[in-house]
Amino acid sequence: MISRITQATTDRLVASDPGLVRLRLGFSAVLSIVVAVLAILPFHQPLTVTLVAAIAAMTSAFTVNDATPGQQAVTLVLGLLLGAASLTAASVGSALPPLDSVVFVLLIFVAVYAQRFGSRGIALGSLSFFLFFFAMFLQTHLRQVPALLLALTIGIAANAVVRFVLLRRRTDAEFLRIRRAFRARLAAVVRAAEDYLAVGGSERTRKRLRTANSRLHESVLLIEDTAPEVAGADSANRLRRRAIEVELAVQWLTITVQRTCAEELGEDVRDDLIARLRRFRSLIERDPRELPLISETEEFSRMLVEGSRIDEHAAPGDGVRRAIAELALADVRAQRVAEHDVSDTADDPEDPDEGKSAAFAYDNQTRSAIQAVVGGGLAVLGGELVSSQRWYWAVLTVFVVFIGSSTAGATFVKGVRRLGGTLIGIVGGLVLTLLVSGSVPATLALILVCVFGMVYMARVSQVIMAFFITSMLGLLYSLLGTFSLEVLWIRVAETAVGAAAGVLAAVVIVPVRTRAVMLDDVSSLLDELDEFVAKTAGLLSGAENVSVIEKSRDLDRAVDKVRTTIEPLTHPVNLSSRRDYGWHVLTTVETIAFRARHVAARSQAGLLVNEADRLLLFTGRIRENIAVLGKAIGAPGGSGHGTLVRDDGTPVADRIDDPQARSVLTSLGHLDETVIALGRAFGVEATDPAPSGKG
């Protein structure tokens, strides 16, 4: 019993943090602080200077996330230079108010605008901003600048030692952990399917299925991203293809389970299906290196045999039985490739990366930076009314709600989360401060716990992250001897002022509406989809040899961008009718990505070379529909964009005998249907083709 509970707990931990990336980042931040503090102790600096070293180590640990160690080293050096300028400016400004508030607000513009430069821009902007903030928090002075620069250097050097030596990222070990997480999440989907069958389908179990599939998809994307780092191009492409096939098989199992529950099932059939799912889940190895593989078990052979007889002897529940067999087969193929078995057919070469965004442009990111400056100015004014000593808390909140946000809706949601986390953190900080009762070692230990929690939860929950930040700051106040309940409530008031200032600026100053950004993102998604269909047609017809797996990955990124943008429409705080509209658009674009992955996983060069002409007509109509939809989205409410054209009922697959080719064409047909469904969301009509268009 205990071992089963331990195994279940381990599974949940592994599944919640694929590759243990967040765990490594959390420990990296904590260890960087410890190394920095130990390194600065021989210099006998005051507590405020020591804290700057710790803060520099912590912020560089969780903000610098470049792809390679070399790029990370460059960002750390640049962070040292910009951090030095930031600390100096903050120390000078403290002696010349209101210079400090002016520089602080301008720094918001730079930090928010820097997001356009990718991970390095985000890291340098955030590092500069937080160092300026903490210099104000610690009330540093100009005469301390030499000591502060020493502390900054030690802090960043400490993180470099931890990052490149003590907790160096090992791609092979991380990839293995990602595979373990993938298997744990695969088991979670199967478990959710069991629960769905057991209750005959319910809204709660349907949500669990959706969540489990979404988390499995995250693991697949991580495998796709990490594979090139641990394998050659051909092996990485094979692994990507096999991982997608497993995901498709899982999604098909989910769909089949839901359809089966809609039918009349006897208790014996339902119990049999649940037992099969439970047995299949027990065969999913926790450690992917463990043997035997599923294929070497008697149950696997029985699954395949039963699956092959379904067409001949159809019975209730056979769809689920076949789906289990197909998932088992896909899983075995993926494991063999992951274990460096290169017996499978080679895939297509990868395409080079595409261009980056322009360095200077007036777009949504620029508008967000302008809004952040205005919001920062309002926060300074409102914050001064609350407390002339701690107004910078309000400015910090403005920065937090704007970083990573590009619409008024996203800013509002982040403001609500920030305020909620701060309120909870006030209670947490008060309780923790009372627990340590002035003990410096205990206070330092709890600060490290809060740092770990903040970094570990940063990508999961803004509310929990805000809770740890507020609790940590309460403990810092205690360490500095300035803790009081009044200070904590000022913190809440300043956070509320900052959130209100940010939302007001986002709504009034050159507002960026969520729907407008969503339309832009969907338009970009359609461009990716058009290229995917074109490249797929070229691959299948034998005209060119490209990586449609990579193109489907680009489409996944576009869908993820739509998902992020549309979140304010689907968030519970949005009580308008647009929630249903948002969910409809999101579900439809996710279905497009699903169909595209299915096409990519089955496509091979020259698969339909004998039907190239009809294939090009078929895909040409799909691309024309995509173009019509793109024009309609580009000019909402206008006319003259045309109508979508449905399939004429004679798909290319009607004369194809090869099962794999038929599967690809069927998925292309489903992709076409989903494009038409997306058109309905934007008011674009669909018509049947003219008689002359058949064939």
- Pick the closest to residue 31 from 173, 120, 164 (CA basis): 164
* pLDDT bracket for residue 129 (50, 70, 90): very high
Boundary (domain end) residue, out of 153, 169, 185: 169
Q: What angle do CA 399, 404, 405 make, to 5 degrees?
A: 85
Domain assignment present for 647: yes
**Are residues 245 and 106 part of one domain?**
no
Going by the DSSP 8-state scheme, the letter that residue 164 receives in this structure is I
Q: What are phi and psi of 74, to 5 degrees?
A: -60, -45
| Lookup: tokens for 294 | 């599923």
Which residues, 6 or more positions from 515, have their beta carbon under 8 angstroms from its beta carbon? 569, 578
The residue behind tokens 């339902």 is: 270
Question: How does pLDDT run across 477-495, given as a tens digit for each residue?
Answer: 888 887 777 887 888 899 8
Cα(223)–Cα(176) distance, integer angstroms = 10
Q: How far is CA 371 from CA 12, 431, 500, 515, in A?
A: 41, 37, 13, 18
Cβ–Cβ under 8 Å, residues 452 and 33 = no
Question: How does pLDDT run across 512-523, given as a tens digit for each residue?
Answer: 778 888 888 999
On the 0-12 / 13-18 / 19+ scale of CB atoms within 10 A, 71 is middle
| Lookup: tokens for 609 | 């070379």
Quote the percentage of the chain above a pLDDT of 70: 85
- Pick the closest to residue 218 from 184, 266, 192 (CA basis): 184
**Are residues 142 and 236 part of one domain?**
no
| pLDDT at 564 > cutoff 80 | yes
**Are residues 528 and 570 part of one domain?**
yes
**Are residues 436 and 313 part of one domain?**
no
Question: How does pLDDT run across 189-208, given as a tens digit for each residue?
Answer: 999 999 999 888 888 888 89
**Are residues 678 and 539 part of one domain?**
yes
Region 263-267: what's the mean pLDDT? 80
**Are residues 430 and 526 part of one domain?**
no
Question: How does pLDDT run across 169-190, given as a tens digit for each residue?
Answer: 888 888 888 888 888 888 889 9
**Are residues 311 and 400 part of one domain?**
no
| pLDDT at 553 > cutoff 90 | no
**Are residues 376 and 306 part of one domain?**
no
Residue 528 pLDDT: 94
Domain assignment present for 350: no
* pLDDT bracket for residue 531 (50, 70, 90): very high
Domain assignment present for 348: no
**Longest CA pairwise span in the chain (Å):** 88
**Are residues 551 and 644 part of one domain?**
yes
Domain assignment present for 355: no
Cβ–Cβ under 8 Å, residues 144 and 43 = no
**Are residues 227 and 334 part of one domain?**
yes
Domain assignment present for 67: yes
Cα(227)–Cα(221) distance, integer angstroms = 10
Average pLDDT across the chain, whole number: 82
**Are residues 254 and 141 part of one domain?**
no
Range name among 114-123, 290-299, 310-319 with the lowest pLDDT average: 290-299
- Pick the closest to residue 542 from 615, 623, 597 (CA basis): 615
- Pick the closest to residue 144 from 77, 56, 52 (CA basis): 52
Region 230-239: what's the mean pLDDT? 75
Domain assignment present for 14: no
Quote the percentage of the chain above a pLDDT of 90: 23
| Ordered DSSP codes for 49-60 | HHHHHHHHHHHH
Q: How many domains does the chain have?
A: 4
Domain assignment present for 266: yes
- Pick the closest to residue 376 from 14, 161, 103 (CA basis): 103
**Are residues 334 and 191 part of one domain?**
yes
Q: pLDDT: is 31 or 251 the higher one?
A: 31
Question: How does pLDDT run across 297-338, given as a tens digit for each residue?
Answer: 555 555 555 555 445 456 778 788 888 878 877 877 777 777
Which residues, 6 or more positions from 115, have their beta carbon under 8 angstroms from its beta carbon? 121, 122, 125, 365, 368, 403, 404
Owning domain of residue 398: 363-509
Residue 691 pLDDT: 59
Going by the DSSP 8-state scheme, the letter that residue 165 receives in this structure is I
Residue 306 pLDDT: 54
Identify the CATH number of the domain in which residue 546 sits.
1.20.58
Boundary (domain end) residue, out of 493, 509, 525: 509
Task: State whether the Cα torsion 246-334-20-171 is positive or negative.
Answer: negative
Q: How far is CA 641 from CA 35, 109, 520, 628, in A?
A: 62, 39, 17, 6
| pLDDT at 571 > cutoff 80 | no
Domain assignment present for 611: yes
Cα(32)–Cα(50) distance, integer angstroms = 13
Residue 350 pLDDT: 41
Boundary (domain end) residue, out of 487, 509, 531: 509
